Amino acid sequence: MNFQMIDWVFIIGYLAVVFGLAFWSRKDMHESDLKTPDEIAQEKYMANKSLTFLESICSIIATEVSALTFIGIPAVAFKGDYTFIQIYMGAIAARFIIALVFLPRVYDQGLTIYEVMAKDLGLPSGQRTVAIFYSISKMVSVGVRLFSGSIMVSAFFGVNIYIGLSAVTFLTLIYIQIGGLKAVVRTDMLQLSLFIIGGVLAHYMIPKTSGQSWGEMMSLAQAAGKTSFLNFTDPWPFVFGIMGGFLFDMSTHGVDQDFAQRLTANKKLRYGQYAIFFSSFISISVGLLFLSVGSLLWAFYQSHPMPDIPTTDHIFPHFIVNYFPLGLRGVMVAGVLAATMSVLDSTINALCATSYNDIFKNRDPKKMEFWGLIDSIIIGCCILTVALVASKNDGLLYLGLKAQSWTGGTLLALFTSKVIFKKYFRYALTPASVIGAYVFGMSGVYLNVMVLEWNWNLNVYWGFTLGIIFLKIYATIKPAKTA
């Protein structure tokens, strides 16, 4: 489609600032006079432990919300109601435990969380196996998020979705290579601001376009039950949502290197603790902001013809492209780019850290920069492939979350048994123990989804429980010989 220069100004301006921040971060890296590979890795993947509370909390929010929040959450509310917010509510208690119990045990203990897991009775091969399982599951879940953001990009520029996917991936790969984790965190702060501005603008533009007031449209949605999050006649979905959010969030924000490095890279332990706990309340606010966008869109289309779109995930992008005025469209596209790139950049940085530190430990340290580039390209291509597959599915928000729930419980079981309750699980972290835990854990997920057909929010519970059971049996049958 045709679009005006003012839209281009906002989009190009956003990209210019992103790359400017990356070069600024690169300059800081050079000024630190790094010499050894370990020093370079600390700067590239841990920002030399220089993150502040503000940088950390903004980066956490920017990474977790993603374009799935921008595109997927309005679609969820458009089709249903606000029950999705239950997951955020359950996360409050989870992040309190992460701050109080998890973080003190991993802060200053290693470059990655999987290195920490292998410190007590662990073998390099076991550490490598955990990192491989994590990397695969992470690329699958993030691939879905990448596609959701590219919906908006392709719709705005009038290009094929595959071109949009490739362009976003390529741009992100470039600025990651320029500035490392510091660049990722600094751009996340910008991206979060744009993301929230986009949500606020939607609350203004949808009523303005409709000719109704914001209150009238929300009242219409409320009367139709579109804003409810708890059904008193059937409270179980609410219970499952809270439960799912609790353990699910613990398995992502607690033992996912993507989030863990934002906490362990803080200047002080307490900065990371404050950041992870208070981020849960901001997440709820952001979730409600975009759920209500879905309510407004539902009210709008009660008096306007429904567009011809492939899936409901396209409902918000379609409205932006067709109803937003010049200039504001550019802001919204920049917001979606921000949300998409903030997830992709942090994921690639985290996976490169695990590749360097956990998977390919025997590489020539003098070629660290070269291998970092190769890893980034391979990881980016793998995520891009998943995104292309995800383009064939509807309900992207839940698809992305379900993908994370398949293996999250097992990873949490491995972490808690090796770091939190290690005196009760005296086993060596080996490929056999790791693979066995994943076989048991994913069997539990299969049982929950395919046999019992229970709520998907319980996937993490099944994975965690059967993973822990296997590890206890393994520790009993084959206890470690050293204390």
Max avg pLDDT among 29-38, 179-188, 348-357: 348-357
Strands (E) across 221-375 are located at: none
What is the token pair recorded at 87?
A: 């997951």
More confident residue, 447 or 334: 447
Q: Which of 379-393, 437-451, 462-476 has the lowest mean pLDDT?
A: 379-393
Domain-located, residue 447: no
On whether residue 161 sits in a domain, the answer given is yes
Give the tens place of pLDDT for each residue, 300-337: 999 899 888 877 878 888 898 888 887 788 888 777 77
Give every CB contact of residue 177 below 8 A, 6+ residues apart in sequence.
372, 373, 376
Task: Of 68-82, 230-244, 364-378, 466-480, give the range with the top mean pLDDT.
Answer: 466-480
- Average predicted confidence (pLDDT) for the chain: 84
Least confident of 135-149, 260-274, 430-444: 135-149
> Residue 93's domain is classified under what CATH number?
1.20.1730.10
At residue 398, does pLDDT exceed 60?
A: no
Q: Looking at the predicted structure, is the pLDDT value of residue 80 above 80?
A: yes
DSSP state of 350: H
Give the E-state strand segments of 248-315 in sequence order.
none
What does the pLDDT read at residue 179? 61
Of residues 207 and 336, more confidently modeled: 207
Asked whether residue 457 is assigned to any structural domain, the reply reads: no
Which amino acid, 382?
C
| For range 220-245, the mean pLDDT | 79
Regarding predicted confidence, which is higher, 219 or 63? 219
Q: What is the pLDDT of residue 31?
A: 46
Q: State how many domains the chain has.
A: 1
Secondary structure string (H, E, C) spanning 63-107: HHHHHHHHHHHHHHHHHCCCCCHHHHHHHHHHHHHHHHHHHHHHC
Q: Cα separations (Å) of 456 from 398, 445, 449, 461?
A: 9, 9, 7, 10
Looking at per-residue pLDDT, the higher value among 422 and 42 belongs to 422
End-to-end CA distance of the chain: 67
Give the pLDDT confidence of 87-118 residue by residue, as tens digits.
788 889 999 999 999 999 999 998 999 999 99
The region, left, alpha or beta by phi > 0 then psi within -120 to 50, assigned to residue 482 is beta
Q: How confident is the model at residue 67 (pLDDT cuts 50, 70, 90)?
A: low
- pLDDT recorded at residue 89: 85
Residues 6+ apart with CB under 8 A from 374: none
Structural domain harbouring 262: 5-395
DSSP 429: B
Token match 């596209």: residue?
A: 333
Whole-number pLDDT of residue 2 = 47
Domain membership of residue 149 (yes or no) is: yes
Would 458 be classed as within a structural domain? no
- The phi and psi torsions of 122 (rounded to 5 degrees) equal -120, 150
Q: Flag whether 441 is in a domain.
A: no
Residue 477 to residue 436: CA distance in whole angstroms: 13
Nearest to 406 by CA among 358, 432, 380, 439: 439
Q: Does position 1 have pLDDT exceeding 50, yes or no?
A: no
User: Considering only 289-293, 327-331, 468-472, which range has the smallest mean pLDDT?
Assistant: 327-331
User: Looking at the predicted structure, is the pLDDT value of residue 235 above 70?
Assistant: no
Q: What are phi and psi of 266, to 5 degrees?
A: -70, 155
CA 146 to chain CA mean position, Å: 10
Residue 19 lies in a domain: yes
Say if residues 424 and 120 touch (Cβ distance below 8 Å). no
Q: Strand, coil or helix: what is 268? A: coil
Question: In this structure, what token pair is assigned to residue 43?
Answer: 């700067």
More confident residue, 270 or 44: 270
Q: What is the mean pLDDT of residues 218-243?
A: 80
